[in-house]
Structure 1
Amino acid sequence: MRAVTFTGKGGPEVVAVREVEDPAPARGEVLVRVRAAALNRADLLQRRGLYPPPRGTRDDIPGLELAGEVVRCGDGVTAWKPGDRVMAIAAGEAQAELAVVHERMLLPVPEGLSWEEAGAIPEAFLTSHDALFTLGGLRPGWPVLIHAAGSGIATAAIQLVKAAGAVALGTSRSPEKLERAGALGLAHGIRVGREEPRFADEVKRLTGGRGAPLVLDFVGASYLPENLAALAPGGRIVCIGTMGGVKGTLDLGLLLRSRATVVGTVLRPRPLEEKIRATQEFARDGLPLLRAGRVRPVLDRALPLDGAREAHEAMERNDSFGKLVLTA
């Protein structure tokens, strides 16, 4: 099969499409003919040697999510059959023509969605659903602060917040991205500066001085002081990414006074059963919203596998809104 591969550790120049050996499903696994697989920032980190995949997963084939058709089922699989349209998160190796997925990690692709749209769903929606509800305890009416409003996960989170009857506040350096996020349900957009990001005062103003009970943070260290200052008493910061660095300064006095909780999360290295649970919880809550059209994947552009290097370059420039998807 053809697959996106890394010929070494480095920049986009190490991205190449090559022929590799076909995978085969073991007991309880399903072989999927991949039609679309989205790019994530974790793929960029893996390319640079900064985010190795879990043991047993190749480090030279990226890809954390996919959509496609079931080709063959391993022994013991009863939930799926050849020809079924499915999508899933993966530990890696999804940016290829074939991929193997545990049967309980698969989700049905809702009717009416293209392969490109389906390929943009799993990582963004499972991550945001898990962060908002399982880790964040989201409740109707809450104002929720969501950073990097144009990212794939953020565009999913904004819609899930609105669907839950809560209020999405979002930040971005780009006024254009904030405007586009408004069409997804972002109630208030806050533009932040590159050198000295400031948003806590505006969050407090928008929330009548109380602050946000929940913050979804994709930026990391550089936003930590403002996140804490923007938090409501007893609130929670869920850290999902570290685009702005991994080491920050935490005011423990403010943390104690605000009775705040800081939670870190990542799906990829979790035990299989935890990922299955996150998948099934999204199937329960999120699939009905997708089927009803109340939430939708946001696709920046779709490129063929041979455009993988171009997709890496676009993500590094941070000029995309929503998901970059590769079609196989």
Structure 2
Amino acid sequence: MPETMRAVDIKGGKGPVSSLHITDIPKPSISGNQALVKIKAFGLNRMDLLQREGQYPVPPGAPKTLGVEFSGIIEEVGAKPEGGFKKGDEVFGLAYGGAYAEYIAVSTKMLVHKPKELTWEQCAGIPETWITATQALYLISKFQPGKSILWHAGASSVSIAGIQLSVADKASAVFATARQDEKCEFVTKHLGATACFNTKKSTWVDEVKKATDGKGVDIIIDFIGAQYFQDNLNAIAKDGVIVNLGFMGGTKLPEGTDISAFVIKRCTYVGSALRSRDEEYQGQLRDQLVEHALPRFVDGRFKIFVEKVLAWEDIQEAHKMLEENRTKGKVICTIS
């Protein structure tokens, strides 16, 4: 009889918030460079909502259990652990799935040693969001100091990370959008953005043009998709790059969409995702995070904003918070 563990499951395989419940499933086994980690806390992401509803394809071989970021203690390592990880190490990391559980089997390439200065809850909120922001900023958009940048959904966890990275690495201007005055104030006051535009109160494209003397912005990081496609083309500067990471505003473009900016402005529109990338690619981003961001977490230059910490028994409430856009930062669940 295999060993079991508790994990969050979805009744019927997919469904609404009410379908989430904790049950017993087989405990994972490890091999090679993997570690078995006893989870202390895990972070929530919007992809979890889509996966719960059956709208997010899980990478081949990934566990069906939700969750990609976590913190915890290594209980066992395989025969060839990377980076000297060993039993008893306090770590946090990124996985292809399986973090809503008591234990997770994960490649040691995707683990980071937990600094004593950070809590379990803070560390569980780092991997997915900060690595996604790192990927979008440096690998995809090819950001360089002196470029201007706009982050949509400015109070979302990825944009919170990205805005801090952009400011720290000397963007000429860092703009953001949000749909609430409170979130706009948070983005400028606490993250250091140049300006944040409330999309319910003003036309953000006009505001960007005004703030850049008509030039537009060099880089746009977008999670909205079809709803902002035309506006992004209108707001991008010549030779600018638009990076699409999601489609909260749909995937079907309306009739009459004008794509002339691709030629007139020589702009680039590129889509990307992190979870579907191979272990080698993700490991390189892990290394960049450790080198570039981890020291700044430790000394406080970078802030990890945790909106709410809940016991994992309250997983339905945690998902509701994300669905209702009630957050400025991470929702974290702890396992006791």
Q: TM-score, normalised by structure 2?
A: 0.93
CA contact (8 A) 1:128 1:156 kept: yes
Partner of 1:13: 18
Q: 1:210 aligns with which of 215, 218, 226?
A: 215
Secondary structure class of the residue paired with 1:290: helix
Question: Helix, strand or coil for the counterpart of 2:262?
Answer: helix
| Shift in Å, 1:151 | 0.7
- 2:248 aligned with 1:238: no
CA distance in 2, matches of 1:208, 1:3: 53
Corresponding residue of 1:170: 176
Show the counterpart of 1:320: 327
CA contact (8 A) 1:3 1:305 kept: no
Q: Deviation at 1:57?
A: 1.9
Q: Give the unaligned 5+ runs of structure 2.
A: none
SS in 1 for 2:191: coil
Does residue 29 of structure 1 match 2:34?
A: yes
Give the aligned residue type for 2:313.
D
* Matching of residue 2 in structure 1 with residue 6 in structure 2: yes
Specify the alignment match of 1:75 in structure 2.
79
Considering Cα pairs closer than 8 Å and 6+ residues apart, tell me whether 1 or 2 has the greater RCO. Answer: 1
Amino acid corresponding to residue 328 of structure 2 in structure 1: F
Cα deviation, residue 291, structure 1: 2.3
Q: Which amino acid aligns with 1:192?
A: T
How far is 1:52 from its partner?
2.4
Residue-by-residue CA offset, 1:274-308 (whole Å, 9 max, x unaligned): 11122122222222222232112110101111111
Partner of 1:93: 98
d(CA) in 1 for partners of 2:205, 2:262: 15
What pairs with 1:53-202 in structure 2 (closer than 5 Å)? 53-59=58-64, 61-77=65-81, 79-166=84-171, 167-182=173-188, 183-193=190-200, 198-202=203-207
- Do residues 297 (structure 1) and 297 (structure 2) align? no
1:325 maps to a residue whose letter is: I
The runs of at least 4 aligned residues of structure 1 exceeding 4 Å deviation read none
Q: What per-residue deviation string (whole Å, max 9, x for no partner) do you get for residues 34-70 of structure 1?
A: 11111111010011111121122232x1001111111
Deviates more, 1:148-157 or 1:249-258: 249-258
CA-to-aligned-CA distance 1:2-24 (integer Å, 9 cap, x gap): 11111122110111111211112
Tell me the secondary structure at the aligned position of residue 186 of structure 1. coil
* Structure 1 counterpart of 2:52: 47
Q: AA paired with 2:187?
A: A
CA offsets 1:133-174 (integer angstroms, 9 cap, x no match): 111111222221001111111111111111111132110111
Q: Which amino acid aligns with 2:55?
A: L
Whole-Å Cα distance in 2 between the matches of residues 248 and 108 of structure 1? Answer: 44
- Looking at structure 2, the residues matched to 180 and 83 of structure 1 have their Cα atoms a distance apart, in angstroms, of 38
Counterpart Cα distance in 1 of 2:258 and 2:298: 44
Question: Cα deviation per residue 1:174-208 (whole Å; 9 max; x = unaligned)?
Answer: 110111122111220101029xx831111111112
**Does residue 227 of structure 1 match 2:232?**
yes
SS at match of 2:194: strand
Q: What's the secondary structure of 1:138's corresponding residue?
A: coil
Gaps of 5+ in 1: none
Of residues 247-256 and 94-103 in structure 1, the stretch that sits farther from structure 2 once superposed is 247-256
- Alignment partners' CA distance in 1, 2:144 and 2:115: 26
Task: Name the count of aligned residue pairs.
Answer: 325
CA RMSD, 1 decimal:
1.4
Mapped contact 1:110–1:290 kept (Cα < 8 A): no
TM-score normalised per structure 1? 0.96
Q: State, as a whole percentage, how many aligned pairs show the same letter.
A: 35
Q: Is the 8 A contact 2:216 2:236 kept in 1?
A: yes
Is contact 1:27–1:75 with CA below 8 Å preserved after alignment? yes
